[in-house]
Amino acid sequence: MGFEVIKTDSRTKARLGLLTTAHGVVETPVFMDVGTQGTVKALEPRDLEENGAQVVLGNTYHLMLRPGPDVIAAAGGLHQFMRWNGPILTDSGGFQVFSLAKMRKITEEGCRFNSHLDGHEFFLGPKESMSMQRVLGSDIAMVFDECLPYPCDRERAEKSVEQTLRWAKASKDQPHAEGQLVFGIVQGGVYDDLRRHCAEELVKIGFDGYAIGGVSVGEPEEFMYKAVDASEPFLPKDSPRYVMGLGVMHQMAECVARGVDMFDCVIPTRVARHGTAITRKGNVAIKAAKWIFDQGPVEEGCECYCCRNFTRSYVRHLLNAGEILGLRLLTIHNVFALNRFMKDMRSAIAGGSFAEWKEQIRKDTCHE
Amino acid sequence: MGFEVIKTDSRTKARLGLLTTAHGVVETPVFMDVGTQGTVKALEPRDLEENGAQVVLGNTYHLMLRPGPDVIAAAGGLHQFMRWNGPILTDSGGFQVFSLAKMRKITEEGCRFNSHLDGHEFFLGPKESMSMQRVLGSDIAMVFDECLPYPCDRERAEKSVEQTLRWAKASKDQPHAEGQLVFGIVQGGVYDDLRRHCAEELVKIGFDGYAIGGVSVGEPEEFMYKAVDASEPFLPKDSPRYVMGLGVMHQMAECVARGVDMFDCVIPTRVARHGTAITRKGNVAIKAAKWIFDQGPVEEGCECYCCRNFTRSYVRHLLNAGEILGLRLLTIHNVFALNRFMKDMRSAIAGGSFAEWKEQIRKDTCHE
């Protein structure tokens, strides 16, 4: 169990790695598909396998509220419940408590809040989060933290980082599932010295991996890279680094160039449900009138089930008619496309051409 | 191309048959899965194959409105558009014009109506229906008819049957797709002599098969069997008989005992979306609280993908959380269950035990 860097790029900080978990080995850089409520939306486990998914992310907050820990415990954990036998990473629930729920009170022990579903009152802190993640039986558990919003003033950021560090220590000290890796989360907002401080203190506590949190929360793109640049040098070279909530192709490539190994995002499944295809040449609105008679696949050359079998004309029809199959086919395509993208990235690193590849990605996918 | 009866039951009118179409041979009795808008809701062609589907039914009315004939023509027909290479039956659109659309005017040529989608004006009669079904390229086309409501007075029924017969003749006289079989439809409501008259006149025109229409439109169950009993004796023994819109297990068994070979219904896909599983022992509401911790499959002993892999507890959670995967898994189960049911029925006919099997089905599935 653990992480091994098998190659480092000569011109950037990009690395190829192998992350060994209780449910298999993950090739990094990796994009993790989000399965919020115990399913990657519209997909079955066999679809995930077929489309190159390596890790599924489960949301502790959502699963704690519904179906609740007792139901998942009865199944023997999240792997058994959803029948996904590959690696699972679970977040701590902190982000959702702060963004979705109605907060009642924050103490040293955690947060009292009302469920966004039915107003039912819950408590979530490091103890409860780690306990829930133990029930879920994830391969990688995340510490309970406070994800800072953007913008955030210095004073609030300072206080929050200290709270995050105390919660990180408390999370580490809880019992974990057998073989469960535990990752710390670097916070600190846009303040480089806070990022450094947080990273250094987390490393003192000692984790199996480190996330860079509070990224992709509405800040300008350059602040995203600044947060990574301010944190990464103070994280162990032999630990995996994970930027949470990021799934845009050129942004992931930029972060990999800065030493990041892992990503997750709802983008591929969410935009599919709105009729958007993710392609190697940027996003494509499949509902657009121009595809009405188009007999080509959603993405030329793509080898996913959707592109091997169906036309833009047909997928467009399904989306416009409100057919579930339309969003399912686009979800299949998008998941395949992002996983294929990461595979191409790993090949570029392996072949020594990552820097050029990254520039090409920017040219191809950023149409601003 | 055509129909062959390979065995007739000794104690009932049940038959085993083979219906040869341009896209393959269908074993009868058969249940046909409804793909209203160019997809059996939530399922892919590979799911249909995997779950024993033999024939997909396409709706002329829906496909004429959206995406429209030009889009399907551009794909080369409905088989190519939806990538289903098995047999397709298309209805005439008449039923939907009378039940869904806002009717403007009915003439000898057909109906002028406003689309239920956007109010756009369309015209559909025998000529337009057969033309659309030719574009769809279905293996079996249905004549344009008027489906009588229940109840319906004698005078209206008489007039309507004459109109249906004139439209049947006009439909037959239109050009059809290559290899396309054309079925007539017996109407006549609850009036046995009208049923007989309609059947006899249709046989004079001559069709590849005969539907018994206006069944399962809200009438008491005994009227359903009465309509079959009043029509069947006047239909050729060597032609397939089809009861439209029927998909309840014991009702299909009763109709088969009366000489019917084909059925279709939206039941398996529609009830799945409402959380109901169709099983050999009756319907089961999977959302019910009693399944919250249940680690058994949706139906014990079922070999569908859903039942081989997932628990009632998990499927219930997905349905309650509004996850698409929940209704997709139940759709897979229901389609499998009804196709398996028809396979069991064919085995019972083949083995000479159909009469007993039918009584067992009634006992097992009718809980009133």
**Each residue of A262-315: pLDDT tens digit?**
999 999 999 999 999 999 999 999 999 999 999 999 999 999 999 999 999 999
Of A70, A309, A321, the CB nearest to B37: A321
What does the pLDDT read at residue B96?
A: 94
* pLDDT tens digit at each of 368 positions of chain B: 899 999 999 999 999 999 999 999 999 999 999 999 999 999 999 999 999 999 999 999 999 999 999 999 999 999 999 999 999 999 999 999 988 989 899 999 999 999 999 999 999 999 999 999 999 999 999 999 998 889 999 999 999 999 999 999 999 999 999 999 999 999 999 999 999 999 999 999 999 999 999 998 889 999 999 999 999 999 999 999 999 999 999 999 999 999 999 999 999 999 999 999 999 999 999 999 999 999 999 999 999 999 999 999 999 999 999 999 999 999 999 999 999 999 999 999 999 999 999 999 999 998 75
Let me know if B192 is a catalytic residue: no
Given CB atoms, is A311 within the 8 Å cutoff of chain B?
yes
In one letter, which amino acid is B55?
Answer: V
Tell the residue number behind the tokens 């000529």, with chain if given. B127
Given CB atoms, is A39 within the 8 Å cutoff of chain B?
yes
ipTM: 0.97
**What is the C-alpha to C-alpha distance for residues A163 and B37, in angstroms, rounded to an integer?**
55
Of B41, B74, B329, the CB nearest to A293: B74
Active-site hit among A33, A91, A208, A261 = A91
**What is the C-alpha to C-alpha distance for residues A197 and A157, in angstroms, rounded to an integer?**
12
**What is the C-alpha to C-alpha distance for residues A213 and A142, in angstroms, rounded to an integer?**
11
Structure tokens at A226: 């600044």
What does the pLDDT read at residue A103?
A: 86
- DSSP-based three-state secondary structure for A22: coil
- B74 Cα to chain A: minimum distance (Å): 6
Q: Which residues 159-218 on chain B approach chain A with CB closer than 8 angstroms?
A: none
Identify from A33, A319, A325, A327 which residue to disrupt to test chain B contact, counting B C-beta atoms within 10 A and taking the largest count.
Answer: A325
Given CB atoms, is A4 within the 8 Å cutoff of chain B?
no
Of A66, A74, A317, the CB nearest to B295: A74
What does the pLDDT read at residue B368?
A: 56
Given CB atoms, is B317 within the 8 Å cutoff of chain A?
yes
Identify from B51, B65, B71 which residue to disrupt to test chain A contact, counting A C-beta atoms within 10 A and taking the largest count.
Answer: B71
What does the pLDDT read at residue A368?
A: 56
The pTM for the full model equals 0.97
Helix axes A192-205, A154-173, angle to 10 degrees: 10
CB pair distance less than 8 Å for B67 and A41: no
Let me know if B91 is a catalytic residue: yes
Kind plus residue range of the DSSP H or E element containing B107: strand B102-107
Q: Which domains does chain A have, with CATH numbers?
A: 2-265 (3.20.20.105), 267-357 (no CATH)
What does the pLDDT read at residue B1?
A: 83
**What is the C-alpha to C-alpha distance for residues B275 and B364, in angstroms, rounded to an integer?**
20
Calculate the alpha carbon distances from B326 to B273, B282, B314 in Å. Answer: 8, 20, 8
Question: What residues in B contact A317, CB-CB < 8 Å?
Answer: 37-38, 66-67, 71, 81
Of A42, A82, A320, the CB nearest to B324: A42
Using CA atoms in the order A84, A85, A89, A93, what is the torsion angle rounded to 10 degrees?
A: 40
Given CB atoms, is B43 within the 8 Å cutoff of chain A?
yes
**Chain A, nearest residue to B316 by Cα:** A67
Q: What percent of chain A has pLDDT over 90?
A: 96
pLDDT in tens, A58-114: 999 999 999 999 999 999 999 999 999 999 999 999 999 988 989 899 999 999 999
pLDDT in tens, B169-187: 999 999 999 999 999 999 9
Of B37, B70, B74, the CB nearest to A295: B74
DSSP B25-84: EEEESEEEEE-TTSS-TT--HHHHHHTT---EEE-HHHHHHTT-HHHHHHHTSHHHHHT-
Omega before A67 within 30 of 0, i.e. cis: yes
**Which of these, A212, A177, A181, lies nearest to A194 by C-alpha position?**
A212
